[in-house]
Amino acid sequence: MKRGLTFLANTALLAGLAGALAIWVALPWYGIAALALLFALWMALARRGRQAASVTAVGISTLGQRLGSSAVIVIGIAGVVGVLVALLAMGEGYSEELRKTGSTETAIVLRGGSDAEVTSSLDRDSIIAITQEKGIARDAQGRPIASPELVVAASLPLAGGGPDDIGSVQMRGVGEQAWALRPGIKIIAGRRFRPGTRELIVGKSAQGQFAGLRVGSRVLLGNQPWSVVGVFASGDAMESEIWADADVVAGIYHRGSGRTSVGVRLVSPQAFDTFKAALQSDPRLQVTASTTLDYYSKQSQGTAKVIRVIGLTVGTIMAIGAIFGALNCMFAAVAARAREIATLRAIGFRGLPVVVGVMLETMLLALCGGLLGGLVAWLMFNGYSASTLAANAVGKLSFEFAVTPALLWSGLKWALAIGFIGGLFPALRAARLPVATALREL
């Protein structure tokens, strides 16, 4: 009977602990700040709070005598936070690279039912109809700023690899309005390609990923030689592509007069609804339209989610190890301070101040570990360049890890949660230890 009650009590404790941790992880910064303020007021004004502050001060004053075990806790938690933040920074950087590629002032039109350019196909009649719809901005000559484009996969040798190290790059065939559609595209070396020729301009990131893309060099694509005549920068995912004349690309890759998408510049962000309604009401068309901001944001969701799941899984596994390390160290610390804790309880300190004091000591070490891990992640990975196969794409996407304040804050919350769990059970043992037994311990 007694064992059954103990089991139920432990089960209830673990369930409550899991619920508290779930709430803790979901709390925004102002919620945690409010909790910290209330806790500080309790320690300053309540009798037991002042006792808890005294126990905490005594424990912190002895940390110098326990540098080895304290370092185990700090370094263990720093490792958890560093790895977690680094992995989440990869997903954040990937998502940010795609998000900044789009805007609410431009839209992309795909074949109905397609969710990406590589799965879309538009015939010539549909392209002509799309470019005549309402809501599209026009240039100084009165022409609609609409760019029918063709995306294909091209193979190139990887930079720094051997002759058999071949990678896939996204090749985009564009027309003359591509520059008006994306005014942020800047030629930083060489010049633009000439229409009707096998000339390429390459993104700055693509040039770093693949061999042989210097201005003036020649590469083999689609079994045809191409001349690299320029390098462009855009500050977004387009830098991972290579561009050429759409008609030439279509001819070499046997795509006829069709295109995979049509990009348009809108009269204003508010004109998107008008443009989309016009497409839906046109009986000649079976297409879907979205702003490029929405389109590229959706492209990042799948891969970013996978990276986030991997990060949280790895972080959880490491956190379990860090919790056991903290438990061992704090149990040893409580055992070493058994007489001291028993003396405090004998002179009137209740169990709650002892529990709070031991837990605050552990959480202080956890906070130091979280700050150290976040600092290391920021120094080593913020701005670190990487590349991966983009979701629903045919080439690699270059991006930079982004260690944001939100990720650092999440890392600190994880560190404090580990410290909370790691200090809870040793603290409960310290509070429950019989005073007479503790005083007899050497």
With b meaning 16 or more CB within 10 Å and e meaning fewer, what string describes 118-133?
bebbbeeebbebbbeb
Amino acid at 3: R
What token pair was written down for 257? 């007069």
With b meaning 16 or more CB within 10 Å and e meaning fewer, what string describes 357-366?
bbbbbbbbbb
pLDDT digits (tens, 9 = 90+) for 82-123: 999 998 898 888 888 888 888 899 999 999 888 888 889 999
What token pair was written down for 122? 């538009």
CA distance 404 to 32: 19
What token pair was written down for 441? 């311990």
User: What's the residue count for the chain?
Assistant: 442
- Give, for 152, the enclosing helix (H) or strand (E): strand 146-157
**Phi, psi of 43, deg, nearest 5:** -70, -30
Give 310-314 contacts, CB < 8 A, sequence gap 24+: 310/87, 311/83, 311/84, 311/87, 311/88, 311/90, 311/91, 312/84, 314/83, 314/84, 314/87
Would you list the DSSP string of 51-104? HHHHHHHHHHHTGGGGHHHHHHHHHHHHHHHHHHHHHHHHHHHHHHHHHTT--T
Contact call for residues 157 and 166 (beta carbons, < 8 A): yes
What token pair was written down for 145? 């700023």
What token pair was written down for 377? 């992640």
pLDDT digits (tens, 9 = 90+) for 120-163: 999 999 999 999 999 999 998 989 999 999 999 888 888 877 76
Contact call for residues 392 and 118 (beta carbons, < 8 A): yes
- pTM as predicted: 0.76
Amino acid at 424: L
The CA angle 408-413-416, to the nearest 5 degrees, is 125
CA distance 140 to 301: 38
Would you list the DSSP string of 13-32? HHHHHHHHHHHHHH--HHHH
Digitized pLDDT (tens) for each residue of the chain, 442 residues in all: 555 555 555 566 556 666 666 677 677 878 888 888 998 898 888 888 888 888 788 778 777 777 777 888 888 889 999 999 998 898 888 888 888 888 899 999 999 888 888 889 999 999 999 999 999 999 989 899 999 999 998 888 888 777 677 888 899 999 999 999 999 899 999 999 999 999 999 999 889 888 889 999 999 998 899 999 999 998 888 888 999 999 999 999 988 888 999 999 999 999 999 999 999 998 889 999 999 999 888 877 777 788 888 888 888 888 888 888 878 877 777 766 666 676 766 666 777 887 888 888 888 888 999 999 999 999 999 988 877 755 455 556 778 888 999 999 989 998 888 888 888 888 777 777 666 555 555 4
